[in-house]
Every structure is written in structure tokens, then in C-alpha cells.
Amino acid sequence: MSSGSRFRAHGWRMLRVMFICNHCPFVKHLKKDIVKLSNFYMKKGLAVVAISSNAATTHPQDGPVFMGEEAKIFNYPFPYLYDESQNVARDFGAVCTPEFFLFRKDGRRPFELVYHGQFDDSRPSNNVPVTGRSLLYLNVFLKLKMEFILMQYHPHKRCDDQRIRIHPVLSNRGSNNKGSQKVGYFILITRNKTTRATPNIP
């Protein structure tokens, strides 16, 4: 993929955007199951994008170089993007990791947010099995082709210490959400390859 390439959502029935990072213990706890679930549903028409918005100045392990290594080690089947400006996290309203946004597509109509929240109730120390339960209605939609899903919100609990780290220089610039759909650029990380890319979701 060349520099400046655009991601287009043509043919995607559903899109899952997840904000993750390398160092977060909650993400580490779910990582293998996130990959497993993504592989399963991507074969059924789900598009998946992972984004890291943590400031590399405060958490170098969450920066592009280590993101590439992470994508290779865990064999990520989805693009792993670095939100250097942190504008994307602000526009989405993402405040912690992991945080999931699920969008559905109905014909030519724009993507519609149908879920925002956690992966499931499992945490590193609560002995609850990892199931992806909060995202299970994906199965209902993709198999039964339901035409309507009620938007749900299930926040990730006990993750206040894993809030997205704001870049000290960028934190005072405010949100870039003034009616414009432009969200800047990502740095694409896949299999140790770094590419600057601009998303395009109609």
C-alpha cells in the first residue's frame, strides 16, 4: 500500500473500529481473542480497523515501531493504525483502551453506529472467561441479516487508569470536530510496514 492510500468501505456490511494499544493490560488480556473473533467475522463480511491513539512521547511502546512488531507477533488480520494527531480519538469520543465502535451499512446510506463499548465482562483479575459477549449480536446480524439493530452502549469498566494518553503538545488544541468529516491521517502499521494513509468512509 503506497503512501496516501485511502481506505474505502465499498462492499462492507459492518465496520468495527477498536481503540487499542500495546501496553494496556486490558488489551493484552483480550488480544488473542480479538484476533480470533476478527478472523471469524471478517470472513462473513465484517471490516475491522484497530487504532492506537496513545502519545508515543509518553508511552514509546505504543508508537509505530512497536506497533509493527505487535501486529507481526499476533498476526493481526486487520490494519493497525497510529492516530498521531489524536484527532481521530477525539472525533470518535474514545477515552480508554480497549474501546469498540461497531457500524452497520444499509445500501448506499452512510454507516450507522450501532454499538459502542466493551468487548465483554472479562478482566485480567476477575476470572470471567473471554467470550466477546458484548459483540455477539454481530452473529445475529451477519447470519440472519437483520435490518435493524438498536444502538447499544456498554462502557469498559475499571479502565480509568488506561485512558488514552494525550500528547502534551496536542492536548490544548481542542477537538477538531467542527462539522468537517476530515479526520487527518493515520500511520498504517501492518506486519512491520509503516504507511501514512487517509481513511475514506462514505
Q: Higher model confidence: residue 59 or residue 161?
A: 59
Contacts of 98 (CB under 8 A, 6+ apart): 18, 19, 20, 24, 26, 27, 30, 34, 118, 119, 156
Query: Residue for cell digits 483502551?
Result: 97
pLDDT in tens, 114-138: 888 888 888 888 888 887 776 665 6
Q: Which of 41, 54, 53 is nearest to 15 (CA)?
A: 41
pLDDT class for 8, splitting at 50, 70, 90?
Answer: low
- Residue 138's pLDDT is 61
Q: Average pLDDT, whole number, for the chain?
A: 71
pLDDT in tens, 33-72: 999 999 988 888 889 999 999 988 888 999 998 999 999 9
Q: Average pLDDT of 154-182?
A: 40
Record the cell numbers describing residue 102, joined without a space.
461497531
Rounded CA-CA distance 68/55 in Å is 16
Domains of the chain: 5-200 (3.40.30.10)
Instruction: Determine what percent of the chain is predicted with pLDDT higher than 90.
Output: 31
In three-state form (DSSP H/G/I as H, E/B as E, the rest C), the secondary structure along 147-168 is CCCCCEEECCCCCHHHECCCCC
Rounded CA-CA distance 104/130 in Å is 24
